[in-house]
Amino acid sequence: DIAFLQETHRNALESQKLKRDWVGVVYISSFDGKSRGVAILIKKNIPFTEIKVLKGEEDCAIMLLLEIMSQKMLLVNIYAPVEGDPTFFHQLNSRLQQFNDIPIIMGGDFNEVLDLQLDRSIKAKPHVSGTNRAIHTLISDFNLVDVWRAVNPRIRDYTFSSHRHNSYSRIDLFLISRSLIGDIFVADIEIRTILDHAPISFTYSGILGLEKSRNWHLNVSRLRLPEVQSLVKEAISDFYKCNPKEDSDSRLLWDTLEAVLRGKLFSYATKHKKERLQKAIELEQEIKDKELALKYLKYEFNKLMSQKVEFALFRVRQSYFEAGEKASKLLAYHLRKLTTSNTIRLIKNDSNRQMVTNKDI
Active site residues: 79, 109, 197
Alpha-carbon gap, residue 303 to 351, rounded angstroms: 78
Cα 9 from chain centre: 17
In sequence order, the 6+-apart residues with CB closer than 8 A to the CB of 36 are 7, 30, 58, 59, 60, 79
Q: Which amino acid is at 111?
A: N
247 is in an annotated binding site: no
Q: Which sign does the torsion angle of CA 140, 142, 143, 144 carry?
A: negative
Pairing mode, if any, of strands 172-177 and 144-146?
A: antiparallel
| Residue 111 marked in a binding site | yes
* Integer angstrom CA distances of residue 231 from 51, 120, 217, 242, 287: 52, 54, 18, 17, 35
The Cα 197–Cα 159 span in angstroms is 5
Cβ 210 vs Cβ 45: under 8 Å:
yes
- Extract the runs of DSSP E, i.e. beta strands, from 12-165: 23-29, 38-43, 48-55, 61-68, 71-79, 104-109, 144-146, 160-162
243 is in an annotated binding site: no
**Residues 6 or more apart in contact with residue 40 via CB below 8 angstroms:** 2, 3, 4, 5, 26, 27, 28, 62, 64, 75, 77
Residue 352 is labelled as binding a ligand: no
Q: Do the annotations mark residue 7 as ligand-binding?
A: yes
Q: d(Cα 313, Cα 328) in Å, to the nearest integer?
A: 25
Binding site per annotation, positions: 7, 109, 111, 196-197
Binding site per annotation, positions for Mg(2+): 7, 109, 111, 196-197
